[in-house]
Amino acid sequence: MTFAAATATVPVLTAFGVPLGLRADFLVAGFAGAVVAIAVLDIVPPTGDTIAHLVRTSLRRMGVAFASSLTAGYLAPAVLWATNAPEPVMLGIAFAIGGGAREVLKRAIKRVADRVEAQP
């Protein structure tokens, strides 16, 4: 009975013994969405042909993939809780969140930055 229940659970990632609340399957789905957005939609276009430009573009793409994966990892469980959607649908939602996270994060950061600048 214990082994059957243990195999049905999804592992949650921990860092230094502290549970992060991130499910690995949502992170992988968000990462896949980010990779598709980078490769197909070209959301991080290259800036030049020199080695320095290629390294800079690669680092930006890795940062976008990392941020999109984390965004999907944290937002997909919130969507699951709010909509009570079935589990297989949630992987598709995490994929979509990972694919669109860059634009959403860019707008959210701009909105917060505008509010901070407007304060006296």
Q: CB 69: neighbour CB atoms within 10 A?
A: 25
Q: What is the mean pLDDT of residues 74-90?
A: 85
Ranges 14-18, 20-24, 45-49, 61-65: which has the least confidence: 14-18
Domain ranges of the chain: 24-118
- Rounded to whole angstroms, the Cα distance separating 114 from 108 reads 10
- Rounded to whole angstroms, the Cα distance separating 77 from 87 reads 10
- Rounded to whole angstroms, the Cα distance separating 58 from 62 reads 6
pLDDT class for 29, splitting at 50, 70, 90? very high
Q: CB 49: neighbour CB atoms within 10 A?
A: 7
Flag whether pLDDT at 32 surpasses 90: yes
